[in-house]
Amino acid sequence: MFSALIRPILDFTITLTLWVYYLLGYLLFFSPFYLSAFFFSSRREEAFQKLNCLLHRCFFSVLRTIVPGVKWHVSEEVSSLRSSIIIANHLSFLDPILFVSLFEKQKTIANSGYFRLPVFGWILKTSGYIPSAADTLFTEDLMNQIKNLTAYLSSGGNLFVFPEGTRSRNGRIGPFDKGVFRIARLCRAPIKVVIIRNTDKLYPPGKALFDTGARNVIEVELAGSLEPDYESDSFSLSGLMTEARSLMERNMNR
């Protein structure tokens, strides 16, 4: 009875602590470093990405400390990925910020609405992240970003994308958007397929509070690599998507 009463209070307190840190991290703790990088760094985009990585690593350090019942297993195969286009299943809001924390040089495709937010939108844009809305697909800035991705990947950067575009509400993989596969073809890049497990148990989609009571193991593992022959007459974008989906589904419940 006592546990049933105290658990919602604890969940609320932990959730509030984490998101207050997250907001203050951007607005107060890290703002001098972002401003310094913006005005003085000759490699502004790279500096912003490293700051993003550090801020989110701190966030997950706090999370691990105040929610010790959750264990984390990120395979070395994933954390060591470089020069990769990475796709993954999407279970929770935690998934993208977890990926940002894993890679110092990282880009992703984000909802264009986020780019209109004060401060946060400026950081996304300066970090070289790519807006997802259809009305921005053929803007000059976006086309230049996509053209520059080949050099970015060659320099050790990662582009990670959740091809479902939204969080799964039932744990099953939803329909894929073609965008990241088109980018991979333009860059002539292999695709690394990553599986995320159980982030939805810690922070369920559609819920405002973290569920901090359940014992849980969050896993991030490499399912495999797809290296299509983009020059082949038999190459098919839909075939590549089907292969990626099949690889992801086969590894979901291991």
- pLDDT on residue 167: 86
Geometric angle at alpha carbon 76, from 74 and 150, rounded to 5° = 100
4 pLDDT band, cuts 50/70/90, is low
- pLDDT on residue 199: 96
In the numeric block, which tokens belong to residue 65? 């400390």
Residue 62's identity, in one-letter code, is V
Mean pLDDT computed over every residue of the chain: 90
- pLDDT on residue 112: 85
Mean pLDDT, residues 16-45 taken together: 93
Q: Is the predicted pLDDT of residue 143 greater than 70, yes or no?
A: no
- In terms of CATH architecture, what is 2-252? 3-Layer(aba) Sandwich (3.40)
Q: Which long-range contacts (CB under 8 A, 24 or more apart) does 196-200 make?
A: 196/88, 196/89, 196/90, 196/91, 196/95, 196/98, 196/220, 197/91, 197/221, 197/252, 198/91, 199/91, 199/92, 199/94, 199/95, 199/98, 200/91, 200/92, 200/167, 200/168, 200/171
b/e map of 106-125 (b: 16 or more CB within 10 Å)? bbbbbebeebeeeeebebbb
Q: Read off the pLDDT of residues 77-86 as tens digits, 9 standing for 90 and up.
A: 999 999 999 9
Q: Read off the pLDDT of residues 170-207 as tens digits, 9 standing for 90 and up.
A: 878 989 989 899 999 989 999 999 999 999 999 999 88
Q: Is the predicted pLDDT of residue 135 greater than 50, yes or no?
A: no
- pLDDT on residue 163: 94
Cα gap 130→137, rounded to integer Å: 10
Cα gap 159→180, rounded to integer Å: 9
Mean pLDDT, residues 6-16 taken together: 90
Q: Read off the pLDDT of residues 202-233 as tens digits, 9 standing for 90 and up.
A: 999 988 999 988 789 999 999 999 999 999 99
Domain residues of the chain, as ranges?
A: 2-252
Mean pLDDT, residues 145-151 taken together: 83
Q: Is the predicted pLDDT of residue 252 greater than 90, yes or no?
A: no
Q: Is the predicted pLDDT of residue 137 greater than 60, yes or no?
A: no
